[in-house]
Amino acid sequence: LGSPAPTGGIAVSLSSSLPGAVSVPATVTVPAGATSASFTATTFAVGSTTAQLVATLGGTTLFAALGVTQASSVTLSALTLNPTTVAGGSSSTGTVTLNAAAPPGGAVVNLSDNSAAATVPASVTVSAGTTSRTFSVATSVVAIATPITISGSSGGATRSATLTVNPPNPPAPAAPTLQSPANAATGVAQPVAFDWADVANAVDYEIQIDSTSTISAPFTANQIVGVSQASIGALPAQQLWWRVRARNAAGVFGPFSATRRFTPAAATPTTPGTLAAPTLISPAADARFSSGQAIVFDWSDIAGATNYTIQIDDQSNFSSPIVSQSTSASTYSTSALPVTQMWWRVRASDASGTAGAWSSARRLEVR
């Protein structure tokens, strides 16, 4: 008012040009001695528009425009992580995506996680006119694999994704140092005892033997062993080369050792007429299978054999075989092996029941 309201106050008439968009009370009273009073203008969900609010007192009418915009329907439609599995101490990149472009001023997405092993910002803002924004997920070192739920919320919608944090990968093993047989050794008795130095972080070793110094597949012999030595027989009496490499718990092989050459002595059977050792065909060394999967074991036929014995054990020395099965064919199939790493070998027997030499052993894994 231009001057204070009289005793008892004074009522000012109010109206809206678009009551369906903006509603105002019929009057507002300016208290005695005051020059102004407030009132509430209530808006409704309509398309964007402008309403004229009208105040009248005596012969004076004044106007004020009030713009009404449509409520935003922008919500969070997705939250993704890349990668979804990391080693503790490294980071992953998260992306929040809206269902439409962010309005003027941007759209705030609140973030959270459910584990102390991960840290995300409290919120990120998707810039006006864009639909997505990235953010970093920091992780800390953990002792065991830890699944973490990363969540985001905006516009009444919440989306989540899972990040698995694993213990840090062990370093790749170093190259083993070969110990025996000595380089250029000749007349080495069979089965040949191979030995090399233990390597830190190694869980097993691969030994390769070949008739050429380049040592390339197909190998004369190839085994995975859990210790830093191997005993391998039935080798040809000729110059051969061998090398070893170690593998860590993450399945990462280190570099090969230096290569040594040797010449084994001719293999002699321990019993006259003993059958030769079969050559394993499949599964390949270090093959992996799913639990319950049918596994077919196959090996070479041996002249004079009437049956074969296959052994499968979770110990490389075959001290207590899980399977010790006789079969007339040079093949065996099973789907009942336990979930673990195992070794298998085969030998042949003749009509008199005399058993021949064991084949080399191969490792496989069911997981």
pLDDT in tens, 4-20: 999 999 999 999 999 98
Can you tell me which residue has the tokens 């996680």? 113
The per-residue pLDDT for 148 is 96
CB proximity list for 32: less than 8 A, separation 6 or greater: 4, 5, 6, 7, 8, 9
- Amino acid identity for residue 306 in this structure: T
Find the angle CA(188)-CA(193)-CA(196) to the nearest 5 degrees. 115
Residue entry with tokens 């903006």:
22
Q: Is the pLDDT of residue 45 over 80?
A: no
Model confidence at 272, pLDDT cuts 50, 70, 90, reads very low
Q: What is the pTM of this model?
A: 0.39
Percent of the chain with pLDDT over 70: 96
**Over the stretch 186-205, which tens digit does the pLDDT of each residue have?**
999 988 999 999 999 899 99
Residue 229 phi/psi, 5-degree rounding, is -165, 160
**Residue-level pLDDT at 47:** 65
> Which DSSP string do the residues of 200-267 spell out, in sequence order?
TT-SEEEEEEESSTT--SSPSEEEEESSSEEEE----SS-EEEEEEEE-TTS-B------EEEEEPPP
* Cα distance between residue 257 and residue 54, in whole Å: 92
- How much is the pLDDT for 115? 93
Give the model's pLDDT for residue 353. Answer: 81
The tokens describing 172, both together, are 């790749």
